[in-house]
Every structure is written in structure tokens, then in C-alpha cells.
Amino acid sequence: MSTSNQALANWVKDVAELTQADDIYWCNGSPAEEESFNRQLLEDGTYKRLNEETHPNCYLHLSDPRDVARVEHLTFICTNKKNDAGPNNHWMDPQQAHEKMDGLFKGCMKGRTLYVIPYCMGPIDSPISRCGVEITDSPYVVQNMRLMTRMGDEALRRIEREGDFVKGLHSTGELDPDRRFIMHFPEERVIKSYGSGYGGNALLGKKCHALRIASYQAKDEGWLAEHMLILGIKTPTGAQHYVAAAFPSACGKTNLAMLIPPQGYLQDGWEITTVGDDICWMRPGEDGRLWAINPEAGFFGVAPGTAKDTNPNALAMLYQDTIFTNVAQTADEQPWWEGLDDRVPAIDWQGRPYDPANGPAAHPNSRFTVSAKRCPSYSSASEDASGVPISAIIFGGRRASLVPLVNEARNWNHGVLMGATVASETTAAATGKVGVVRRDPMAMKPFCGYHFGDYWGHWVSMQDKADNLPKVFTVNWFRKDDNGGFMWPGFGENMRVLEWIIGRCQGTAEAHETAIGLMPKARDINTEDLDMDADVLEALLAVEVNGWQKENQSVADFLKEYGDRVPQELYQELKRSNQKLL
């Protein structure tokens, strides 16, 4: 196969010469091709077939033990000017980075096949979607990209029509941690990744394209590329709303994306659907609203902790047509991980007989890759070319104290400030210190492709591009009492907070103004059939003046780290909050 796009054809030719690949294969995305790759991966030992009776067409891949996660310290943004990358990124001079990477790629595919993967991020015919081409020497990457993107001939035809695409070059190399780099050239729309086969480093459509490159592209073109889930909420009256939400890791993002409401809500006629669990691209529409797509076609989820009681919708996806990476196995070759059930695994994630002395049976970052269409709550609106209109944007963190259950921004700029300064508190298990506040703006700290100050300024500028922007909220499911217990039940009960948020969007729910935003009274949250003391809910919605004065000083210190590129609108909103706290 070849292409009528001369730039693409020339690039593939140049890469084949540089890498000295034995063969070139153009992926077409067909079912026959998928079967062929599965056979190849089974034959060369990359895949192991799992129990066909319980998990038909499911495969297990065990990666190199030194290659199991994203490597942020080896991930670079290569802009012409260092300050454009910002203090939130590692920077390397583009010329130096290209020379370093081309030196690694030289001859690296000798004896291997070069696979060309044309892909589309988002529905093929959506004006919000963007295309890319990944060149890789990993059939495992091909199969994951098949599930995570719209990959193959249709994507190639769009690239040939439009002429524009992101170039991604990847090789597993020798899987040597000392020869491993992930380079992004946002001004060139180019990604180069070497030395890793792990998803976030090797599936270049995911974090590399859909966030780091796309966030820069979105700045240039007037839209937003965000690390957000998209949730559909249909009220008993039939009103359909969509919510985008950003959460740092360990804050229940996937659980919220696939939320199952309490029984009472289901009986009343509320419906929840899942458009996406990780990435959201939003563009101003002609009606002044933000319209969003999930640019991905699948889920690349963390397995440990996924269980019937925590996320039954996620678990239900994983019994067919799934790639598992670095999970354990039971004696009858079913996939297993910590938190799944009380069975004892037989084989651990390194292929050894399970021994608790060796640590967890499944790697803590073990993964599943599965088509989004397998999710029981999957929304057919995921394929709408126009996207879905966003009613509300939610930012969440993990705070054991101070931050209330829910809070609404006074205005768009205040919402940008809230998103820019969202934070989580560390745990003893993670850092040795409890309660250290780590800020993760818009949950984009590892993923923003340029200077955070400019990024926040771009968010502020959306007011000039759309006149019916979503309301902005923060939530915190993780407040603790004096005994260290969670005060809010979380999981499906988060529906009660979503109900208030939708009510605010519809103009039917009450709120009162506080120094930190618009908040519900305890009576405004539906607690029917919820076993919760009224004083606990009151505490979850209280504003502690002294604590917030200290918090705002911490916020001011944080913003100063980004210098004079921080938009003054954020400081103005912070000043307004401080004045109200006096």
C-alpha cells in the first residue's frame, strides 16, 4: 500500500532509510488484519491467550519489568524558545533533540518491520477530530492503537483529503532505560519516542498527541484539548446534559465516567452515559457553547482496584476482546489483579509462580485496553460528528480537609483560577509525609505542551470565542473526619452532587454566595435514602476562613512560579476572594 499524500510518502521513505527496516507494512484497520496480528503476537510470545471460555479473544502481554509506566523525567517539550515550554515541562533545544533521537533511530529497525499506522483522533467525519500517523516497529503497539483510535484506511483517506497530520515515530529500541526518550516538537506537530513499549510512551495517539501536541495546536486554533472525562446526564424530564471533568490520578476519574446512580435515581428516571473517561477536545460552536468529542475510541485503564463493587461497568467490559498488560493469572488462565476478588493468583505479572514475598501479583500500573463500545454505559453520542454540548466543567482533587464537597465558580475567570490551582494531598504511602499539597492544574501537569501561564491565558481567552460557556465547579469526594474516615460515601452517591450541578445549569437549584464561590446549603443536596448525619453534610459545605486565607496565600505563591505569563485575571479573582474572607 502507498499514499497519494506526497509528504507522508516521503516521510515513510526517509524513516525506512534511517531505521534500515526490513519491510514496510501499511495498516488498514480491517478485521482480517487484526486476526493476523493476533496470530503473529501469539507465535512470537508477545501475547498469551487467556481462558477462551471466560475471556474470549482476550490476551495477556507481560512487558519488560523496567518498562511499566510513563517516564516524565525523560519526556521533553522541544520548542524553539525554552520559556515557551515553561517551568511545567522538561525542555530540550529542537535541533539537539532531533539529532539525539535520529542517532538512536539509526539502524534500529534492522531485522524488523516498519508499521505505518494512519489514525484519527475522534469520529472520522468530525470537524473537531485531528489525524496522525504513527510509525512503529511494535505489533503490540499496532493492536493497542487499533483499539484506542479510529485507525486504518478511513483515517488515511481523511489525511489525503486534508493534507495535515501529526507525525509520530516510535521504536521499542533495546528497551534500555538509559536509551529512552519521548520528545515532542509542538511547533512542528512531531513526536519521537524511543526505548519503551509502555502505553503512554508508545501509543503516540494518547497522551503525546491527544494532549501534549493537541494542547499546543488548540492554543493556535482556538479550542481546548483537556485531560477530562465526558459524562452524559439525562434528567427524569428528558433534558440531556453533558459534563466534562478533570481529576488528577487516584481521584476516581474512571469511576465517575462510568457512574451507576443510586437505585432511587434510576427509579426516578435519571440516566448516565459515558462518552469518554480520559481526554476531551472542546471547540466553540455557532451557538456559543463548547462542543466536545472524546478523541479516543477505547479505554486504556488501570486494572488494580477495578472490581464489581468499585466500577461494575468497567469490569463488565473486560470479559471479551481485551488486551491485558502486566496483570496476574489464575490457575485456569483468567486475568487477575489486586482488588478484583478473593481468589489467589497462580502466576504473577513477571510470569513467575505467585509468591507474596515478591510483591503484588499484578503490577500496580497494570492495564487493560478495550474498545469504548464494550462499556455498558457507552453513549452513542460518542460518534456524533458535531460532538456534544458541555453544560458544566468540573475540577476535582483529593483533599482531606478544607475544600468543600462542591463549589461553583462566580464566573469564567474564577473557574479558570479554580482549575489552575486544583490540588491533591499526598498520603504517607506515597511520600512519607501526610497532607503535602501538590497542585495539578486542570489535571494537566504532565500533559500540557507549553507554558502553564500561556495555557491559563488561553483558557481566559475562551470568553472571546464563545458567549455561552459552561458553568465551572470544583468537587472533593475525599474529606476526612477526625478519625480519618471519609465523610462522603462517594462512588454512585456522587450522583447527588451531580444533580445539584445540573440544577444550577438549568437554573432550578439554589446556591448562596461565599468567599470562595457559590455553594449549596445542606438542604439543597438530595439525601433521600442516604444514611448521613445532617451535621456531617454541613461540615462538608462549610467555609473555614483561616484555612482559606492560608490556602489563597499558597495559591498566590504557586502562581508566581509561572512569572509574568500568568493572566492578571487570575490574580484579580484571588484578590476578590481574599477581600471576601476579611
The CATH number of residue 348's host domain is 2.170.8.10
**Residue 251 falls in the annotated catalytic set:** yes
- Shared-domain flag, residues 276 and 311: no
381 is in an annotated binding site: no
Q: Which of 333, 351, 374 is the last residue of a domain?
A: 374
pLDDT tier for residue 367 given thresholds of 50, 70 and 90? very high
In this structure, is residue 52 part of a structural domain?
no
- Shared-domain flag, residues 266 and 370: no
In this structure, is residue 57 part of a structural domain?
no
Per-residue pLDDT, 207? 96
Q: Which of 201, 222, 243 is the last residue of a domain?
A: 222
CATH number, domain of 179, equals 3.40.449.10
78 is in an annotated binding site: no
528 is in an annotated binding site: no
pLDDT in tens, 124-179: 999 999 999 999 999 999 999 999 999 999 999 999 999 999 999 999 999 999 99
Handedness of CA 501, 506, 510, 511 (dihedral sign): positive
- pTM of the prediction? 0.97
> Is residue 57 over pLDDT 50?
yes
Q: What is the DSSP letter of 209?
A: I
pLDDT tier for residue 268 given thresholds of 50, 70 and 90? very high
- Shared-domain flag, residues 111 and 145: yes
- Shared-domain flag, residues 239 and 214: no
* Number of CB atoms found within 10 A of residue 316's CB: 15
CATH number, domain of 562, equals 3.90.228.20
Q: Are residues 29 and 149 in contact, defined by beta-carbon separation less than 8 angstroms? A: no
- Complete DSSP assignment for 390-404: --EEEEE---SSSS-
Q: CA 581 to CA 65: how far, in whole Å? A: 51
In this structure, is residue 428 part of a structural domain?
yes
In this structure, is residue 498 part of a structural domain?
yes
Say if strands 48-49 and 59-61 run parallel, antiparallel, or are unpaired: antiparallel
299 is in an annotated binding site: no
- Shared-domain flag, residues 249 and 271: yes
One-letter amino acid of 461? S
> Is residue 250 over pLDDT 80?
no
Spot the catalytic one: 27, 58, 108, 251.
Answer: 251
486 is in an annotated binding site: no
Number of domains into which the chain is organized:
3
In this structure, is residue 26 part of a structural domain?
yes
Residue 570 is placed in which grid cell?
Answer: 487570575
What percent of the chain clears pLDDT 70, i.e. is strictly above it?
98
Domain of residue 431, residue span = 226-296+382-581
- Shared-domain flag, residues 323 and 406: no
pLDDT in tens, 479-532: 999 999 999 999 999 999 999 999 999 999 999 999 999 999 999 999 999 999
Mean pLDDT confidence for 235-263: 94
pLDDT tier for residue 427 given thresholds of 50, 70 and 90? low
pLDDT in tens, 522-575: 999 999 999 999 999 999 999 999 999 999 999 999 999 999 999 999 999 999
> b/e string for 52-74 if b means 16 or more Cβ within 10 A?
eeebeebbbbbbeeebbbbbeeb
254 is in an annotated binding site: yes
- Shared-domain flag, residues 525 and 479: yes
- Shared-domain flag, residues 98 and 236: no
- Shared-domain flag, residues 180 and 312: no
Q: Which of 222, 255, 270 is the last residue of a domain?
A: 222
Helix ranges restricted to H, 306-409 = 312-317
